[in-house]
Amino acid sequence: MVIEPNRPLFHFTPPINWMNDPNGLVWHDGEYHLYYQHNPYGKAWGHMSWGHAVSDDLLRWQHLPVALWEAPQRGYTIFSGSAVVDLRNTSGFGHQGVAPVVAIYTADYHPGRALEDVHIAYSLDRGRTFTEYTGNPVLRVNNPKFGDPKVFWYAPTERWIMAAIHGPEQGWLDLYASPNLKDWTFLSAFHAPQSVPGMWECPDLFPLRAPDGSERWALKVNTVLPNQGGSVTRYFLGKFDGRAFHGDPASPLMIYPDGDPLYAEVTYNDDPQGRRILIGWIRQTPRDERPWTGMQSIPREVSLREIGGQWRLCQSPIAEMQTLRRAHHTVSRANLTGAAPVLTGGQAGPGAWEIAAQFDPGTASECGVEIHLARNVTARAGYAAATGEVFVDAPERPRLAMPLHHAGGPVELRVFVDRGVVELFGGEGQATVSALLEPETACVGLGAFALHGAARLATLELWELEAVVRHA
Ligand code: FRU
C-alpha cells in the first residue's frame, strides 16, 4: 500500500476525489458511520453524493462504496443531512426485526431549478445501501436554500425533531417534529440577531450537561458572511422545550476564529457512551499533486464549562486518540528564551505527532511549539500572553487565534501535527484552532519557543502517532 507523501496519517481523507461536510453521523450496532459530501467523479465540488466509511473507534476507518448517489434523472443531487437509527420502527421501514438506518438529507435541484427540499431514504443493511422513500419530499417550503436537516429523537415528547436552515439571506432556522420521519409539523423558527449577519448552513441542536448537573442546549450554525464570502461557526446556548429553542442573551459565541478552515461541523447521534462527539470538515482546495481534496477534523468530545463567568462549549480530542500513541519522548523542565529544538531532522518520522505541553508564559510575549517544515520554514502553535490568545501561525497565512481565559498558572496546550494540518486545543479544550500547512507539508522537526522574554516549560511530552490511513 502506498500512502502519498502529503496524505494525512490520522485525519480522515477520502480515498480519491472531493469531500466536504460530514453527513449522517450516527453510531449503530458497533459502528460509527461517517457519510460525507462527495464528488465521485472529480477533485472539485460537484455531483454531490454521500461517500461512506465505518469505524469502531472513529479513527481507523474502513472505506465503503458511495451510499447515496446523485439522482440526475430525477433532477437533484444529495446535499447535507443526518441519519438516525429508527429502533422503534416509527417509520415502518423496518423489516423482520431489523431497525432501519434512515438518512434525512437535502435534495438540491440547482441549476435546473432554484429549489432545495428534504428527502429521506432507508437502509436495512447496516447503512450500506439505501432505498429512497417513495413519498419524497417529506418537507418542501419552496425556497432555493432549505435543509441541511439535523434530526434526533426527543424522548420527552416521543417525537423526532428536525433543525433545518431556511433561506439564503439572514440566518434563519426552522424546527419541525414528526412521529414517523415522514410527516413533519412546523414547531417554531429561530432567527439570527441582525448584529451577526449572514446565511446559515449545517445546524446542530443538542443537549449538554454542565458539571453542576444542569442541562443546557447548544444550537450550532455555520454562517456564510455577506459580501466578503468568508464563513464562521457560531453557537447559541439556551433551552429547548420540545417546541422552541430559547437562546441565552450572551449568545452567539464563536467556536473557531474567522478564517479557520474547519466548517460544517456536526455531532454524532447515539454515541454508545453518551458522549457528544463532533467532527468537522477541514477545507482544502484541489491540487494537482494529490488525488483527493478535503479532510475531516480530529473527532472531539464536546463539553460545557463555565469559563470567566460564562458558559462555553469546550472540545477535547476523543479519548480514543490515545490509542494512536507510539514512540514517546519527554522533555525535562526548562527555561526557554528563543527557540529550543526538541526533535531534529531525521527524528521527526513520517510527520504525525501529538504534543502535550504546559508553559508558564513568564515574561515572554509568546511561547509554544514550533513545527519545522522543509526549506527552513517554521509553523508555530502557541499562547500569546499579550493578547491572551492561543494561535497557529502557518507559513504565508494570517494568524488564526482564539481567546483563552487564563487565570494564572501554566497554560496547557495540546498540539496535533499530521503532515499538512495542525490542530491545537488550548486550556483543556476551551479554545481550539485548526490550520493547514500547505504547501510545506513535510515536518522535519519539532521545537519549543519563547519570544521577547523568558517562559518556562513545565512539561512537554510528545508521541509519534500511528498512521491509520487506509486505502479503499
Ligand atoms: C456546507 C454546504 C451545505 C450543503 C452542502 C453542499 O458546506 O454548502 O449547506 O448542504 O455544503 O455540498
Residue after which a domain boundary falls, among 204, 226, 255? 255
> Which residues 6+ apart lie within 8 Å of 7 measured at CB?
13, 290, 292, 419, 469
User: Which is the closest atom of ligand 1 to the Cα of 48?
Assistant: 12
For 381-400, what is each residue's pLDDT tens digit? 999 999 999 999 999 999 99
User: Which is the closest atom of ligand 1 to the Cα of 37?
Assistant: 12
For 149-160, what is each residue's pLDDT tens digit? 999 999 999 999
pTM over 0.95: yes
Q: Is 309 exposed, middle or buried (0-12, 13-18, 19+ CB in 10 A)?
A: exposed
**Ligand 1 centroid to residue 48 C-alpha, Å:** 9
**Ligand 1 centroid to residue 160 C-alpha, Å:** 23
pLDDT at residue 472, rounded to an integer: 44
Tell how strand 159-166 and strand 431-436 pair up: unpaired
**Ligand 1 centroid to residue 148 C-alpha, Å:** 7
Based on the fold, state whether residues 162 and 79 are members of the same structural domain.
yes
**Ligand 1 centroid to residue 108 C-alpha, Å:** 10
Closest to 411 (Cα-Cα) out of 356, 337, 359, 334:
359
Q: Quick one: cell of 400?
A: 488564526
The whole-angstrom separation of Cα 472 and Cα 469 is 10
Residue after which a domain boundary falls, among 224, 255, 286? 255
**Ligand 1 centroid to residue 218 C-alpha, Å:** 21
Compute the Cα dihedral for 28, 101, 281, 290 and give only its sign: positive
Residue after which a domain boundary falls, among 218, 233, 255? 255
pLDDT at residue 190, rounded to an integer: 97
Answer yes or no: is 232 within a domain: yes
The DSSP bridge partners found for residue 102 are: 84, 122
Confidence at 347, pLDDT banded by 50, 70, 90: low
Amino acid in position 119: H
Answer yes or no: is 171 within a domain: yes
Based on the fold, state whether residues 232 and 348 are members of the same structural domain.
no
With the most atoms of ligand 1 within 8 angstroms of its CB, the residue from 110, 201, 284 to mutate is: 201
Based on the fold, state whether residues 216 and 95 are members of the same structural domain.
yes
Based on the fold, state whether residues 43 and 172 are members of the same structural domain.
yes
Based on the fold, state whether residues 444 and 348 are members of the same structural domain.
yes
Cis peptide before 179 (omega within 30 of 0): no
**Ligand 1 centroid to residue 78 C-alpha, Å:** 10
Q: By three-state DSSP, how is residue 139 classified?
A: strand
Contact 266, 281 (CB under 8 A): no
For atom 8 of ligand 1, the residue with the nearest CA is 201
Based on the fold, state whether residues 333 and 208 are members of the same structural domain.
no
Maximum alpha-carbon separation in the chain: 70
Domain that includes residue 30, residue range: 17-255
Helix (H) or strand (E) holding 66: strand 62-68
Q: Which of 21, 108, 204, 393 is catalytic?
A: 21
Let me know how long the chain is.
Answer: 472
User: Which is the closest atom of ligand 1 to the Cα of 45?
Assistant: 12
Based on the fold, state whether residues 249 and 329 are members of the same structural domain.
no
Contact 414, 399 (CB under 8 A): no
- Find the CATH number of the domain harbouring 32: 2.115.10.20
Q: Quick one: cell of 344?
A: 531534529
**Ligand 1 centroid to residue 278 C-alpha, Å:** 17
Residue 414 has pLDDT above 70, yes or no: yes
The whole-angstrom separation of Cα 182 and Cα 177 is 10
Answer yes or no: is 97 within a domain: yes
The domain tally of the chain equals: 2
Q: Is 73 exposed, middle or buried (0-12, 13-18, 19+ CB in 10 A)?
A: exposed
Q: Is 285 exposed, middle or buried (0-12, 13-18, 19+ CB in 10 A)?
A: exposed
Contact 300, 429 (CB under 8 A): yes
Residue 288 bears catalytic tag: no
Residue 348 has pLDDT above 80, yes or no: no
- Find the CATH number of the domain harbouring 359: 2.60.120.560
With the most atoms of ligand 1 within 8 angstroms of its CB, the residue from 17, 18, 19, 21 to mutate is: 21
> Which residues 6+ apart lie within 8 Å of 155 measured at CB?
none
Confidence at 62, pLDDT banded by 50, 70, 90: very high
The whole-angstrom separation of Cα 259 and Cα 229 is 11
For 1-35, what is each residue's pLDDT tens digit? 578 888 999 999 999 999 999 999 999 999 999 99
**What is the 3-state secondary structure of 363-403?**
CCCEEEEEEEEHHHEEEEEEEECCCCEEEEECCCCCCEEEE
The whole-angstrom separation of Cα 223 and Cα 356 is 32
Based on the fold, state whether residues 248 and 332 are members of the same structural domain.
no
Q: How many CA atoms lie within 13 A of 455 on its CB side?
A: 29
Mean pLDDT for the stretch of residues 367-387: 93
User: Which is the closest atom of ligand 1 to the Cα of 145?
Assistant: 9
Contact 179, 234 (CB under 8 A): no
Confidence at 471, pLDDT banded by 50, 70, 90: low
Answer yes or no: is 307 within a domain: no
User: Which is the closest atom of ligand 1 to the Cα of 263?
Assistant: 7
Ligand 1 shell residues, CB under 6 Å = 20-21, 37, 48, 79-80, 106, 148, 201-202, 263-264
Distance of CA 241 to the CA centre of its chain: 26
Based on the fold, state whether residues 41 and 171 are members of the same structural domain.
yes
With the most atoms of ligand 1 within 8 angstroms of its CB, the residue from 20, 35, 38, 220 to mutate is: 20
pLDDT at residue 1, rounded to an integer: 59
Q: Quick one: cell of 12?
A: 480522515
Strand segments (E) across 73-137: 77-85, 101-108, 116-123, 131-132
With the most atoms of ligand 1 within 8 angstroms of its CB, the residue from 36, 39, 79, 119 to mutate is: 79
Answer yes or no: is 265 within a domain: no
